[in-house]
Structure 1
Amino acid sequence: MKNKVEFCELSQDDFAEIIPLAQQLNPKLSELELKDFLFQMFGFSNYYCFGLRENGSLIALSSGWITVRFYSGKQLEVDNVIVDQEIQSNGYGKVLFQYIEKWANKKECKSVELNTYLENRRSHKFYHQNGFSILGFHFCKFLK
């Protein structure tokens, strides 16, 4: 990391910057599909989108949902974690999560939770190194 980075909450006004990063995580989705999903997500009152800017450019982002669960109480469930592939492994992910955790504390969340794909071993190592532990399995059944 060479320059100072800035943490921010993103909005629908930031779609033009969000979509290119989102396509790095979801290359099979078109710009139109991503825009439609973003409109839907921003429509929920418990949805937040976080960004990390360097020299004014969006270099990382993540979504978050505030929910309440029996086992954890109020939580921030993080998803769609993306650091621009051109600058990965330079400490930006750690900085992004430090800001997200501070934000969650201010919102009185008791935990920050997330899912990551089984084959994404680099992310497993990253999350373990940053204080996350595995609590269980995430199951999904796609409906027609």
Structure 2
Amino acid sequence: MKTENIKECTSKEECLAAFPVMRQLRTHLDETAYLALIEEARQKDSYRLFALYENDEIVALAGFKPMITLYYGRFVWICDLVTDQAKRSNGYGEKLLEFVHDWASKEGYERIALSSGLQRIDAHRFYEEKMEYDKVSYVFKKEL
């Protein structure tokens, strides 16, 4: 029988266990940089990382941080959302997003926002069609 649960990754060991799945999204990171960034983001930005487990195996991750801006008001920014490549199309992304929606609502946040790379056509279809997100802007960046 398949059992699923969502748990926050709070220890170094839990974050390391999540790295193989996160690496599929954040291919530029090695374990050392990944752990350092998680720790700094937790301390400075209230970053949270949640894992969806299926039978004690991490199959998907959602990393987010609560924010307040003049544009969005009180909202949750989803920094990372990834399902293990071998486990995609099983509803895990939807379950994690619903979890984030519930968490944000309970904590008094008004909306969810995220950015998705231009090349991620399937992800865009998922956000817009399955999860009913609106495309509201482009995100720009400049390397310094």
TM-score normalised over the length of structure 1: 0.91
SS in 2 for 1:86: helix
Match of 1:112 in 2: 112
Shift of 1:45: 5.2
| Backbone CA RMSD of aligned residues | 1.5
Shift of 1:51: 1.4
- Write the distance in 2 (CA, Å) between the matches of 1:133 and 1:38: 28
SS in 1 for 2:117: coil
Q: Is 2:48–2:65's contact at 8 Å kept on the other side of the alignment?
A: yes
Match of 2:52 in 1: 52
User: Where has structure 1 moved over 6 Å in runs of 4 or more?
Assistant: none
Q: Is 1:62–1:80's contact at 8 Å kept on the other side of the alignment?
A: yes
Q: Is 1:60–1:83's contact at 8 Å kept on the other side of the alignment?
A: yes
Q: Structure 2: where are the runs of 5+ without partners? A: none
SS in 1 for 2:116: coil
- Write the distance in 1 (CA, Å) between the matches of 2:28 and 2:75: 30
1:1-144 paired onto structure 2 within 5 Å: 3-13=2-12, 14-44=14-44, 46-129=46-129, 130-143=131-144
Kindly provide the amino acid, as one letter, of the partner of residue 67 in structure 1.
Answer: M
Q: Structure 1: where are the runs of 5+ without partners? A: none
SS in 2 for 1:118: coil
Percent identity between matched residues is 24
How many equivalent pairs are there?
142
- Write the distance in 2 (CA, Å) between the matches of 1:105 and 1:10: 21
TM-score normalised over the length of structure 2: 0.91
Q: Is 2:38–2:47's contact at 8 Å kept on the other side of the alignment?
A: no
* Larger helix share, 1 or 2: 2
